Amino acid sequence: MTAPSSRYSHHLLDLDAELAGELDLGARAAARLAATAVSFWLEPQIDCSRARAAAVGGPGLLVLSGALVGHARLLDRVVAELLGQGDLIQPEGDEERGEFIRCDVSWRALQPVRFAILDAEFAERIRPWPQITHALLGRVKRRVENLAVQRAIAAQPRLEVRLLLLLWHLGARWGKVRPGGIRLAVPLTHLLLGQLVGAERPSVTHALGRLGAAGAVSGAQHGWHLRGCLAEHLSAIGAGEALGHIPRSVPTRHA
């Protein structure tokens, strides 16, 4: 499918069981029947910005699987944000907010992405179970926290440090443990990596070359392999001042 035209209604708690984590068994059974939502797929490179309109009045678009990137453009600069399973994209707000500066925001699938539309009718159906709303708010909080980490990474003065921190940060969520390190199977081009850490593509290419020569990172845009351990590589490139904030092991999502 190349557009959100094929849509089906599902029991959302079957697709995202964590949303029912605060419900007891009896309430969960009742909520399961009521918490239905329409889902659809988007293929890579398709812009999903327009689909946000379908969720107006409700929590937004819930990512059920896959990965997508959000771009915010201001003048000639573009920054990016990666989203994946469990993340919530809130619907567009009021366009008449009187802001002096506005960014152009777009969303594009990096992998086949499945969404659930959580619209005003969905919000009404789950009203008897505020625990589900609380769980969705937790998803928003997690996204804000991830953005805070990304901002802190982008503030590091050395590009090699920024790239190492970013790739390991993403590896904690999307990585799979492999012999000798972590496999990060998310399509990350040099351009996209630069938009995530605040650098130009040629500089990212050179910095990745240096990290590859040092044995820290290998691969290409269709998949990266993070070798060894982050603390060791930071120490090897002379970023020892950061080690007090870096755990010796990074939690990863296994296959």
Query: What would the pLDDT profile of 203-239 be if each residue is shown by its tens digit?
Result: 999 999 999 998 899 987 778 999 888 888 888 887 7
pTM, whole model, 2 decimals? 0.86
| Number of residues that make up the chain | 255
In this structure, are residues 67 and 83 in contact, taking their beta carbons and an 8 Å threshold?
Answer: yes
190 has a pLDDT exceeding 80: yes
- Starting at the edge strand that comes first in sequence, how are the strands of the sheet with 175-178 ordered? 175-178, 181-184, 223-227, 217-220
Residue 155 has pLDDT above 80, yes or no: yes
> Is the predicted pLDDT of residue 154 greater than 60, yes or no?
yes
Q: Per residue in 9-44, pLDDT tens? A: 899 999 999 999 999 999 999 999 999 999 999 888
CB within 8 Å of 41: residues ≥ 6 apart: 1, 4, 6, 112, 113, 114, 115
Side-chain half-sphere CA neighbours of 231 within 13 A: 8
If one compares 178 and 216, the residue with the highest pLDDT of the two is: 216
Contact 55, 61 (CB under 8 A): yes
DSSP symbol at 241: G
Find, among 195, 186, 5, 4, the residue nearest to 110 by Cα: 186
DSSP states of 29-58 as a string?
HHHHHH-EEEEEEE-TT-B-GGGGGGGTTS
Domains and CATH numbers, the chain: 8-152 (2.60.120.10), 156-245 (1.10.10.10)
Task: Tokens for 86, please give them.
Answer: 């469990």
The answer to whether the CB of 81 falls within 8 A of the CB of 153 is: no
Integer CA distances (angstroms), 238 to 158, 160, 202, 208, in order? 10, 10, 22, 16
Q: Please determine, for residue 196, whether its predicted confidence score (pLDDT) is greater than 90.
A: yes
Please give the backbone phi and psi of residue 54, each rounded to the nearest 5 degrees, phi first: -70, -20
Burial of 37 (0-12, 13-18, 19+ CB in 10 A): buried
| Structural contact between residues 63 and 177, judged by C-beta atoms closer than 8 angstroms | no
DSSP-assigned beta bridge partners for residue 183 = 176, 225
Token digits for 152?
């802190």
CB 33 within 8 A of CB 113: no
Which pLDDT belongs to residue 2? Answer: 41
Residue 242, Cβ neighbours under 10 Å: how many? 16
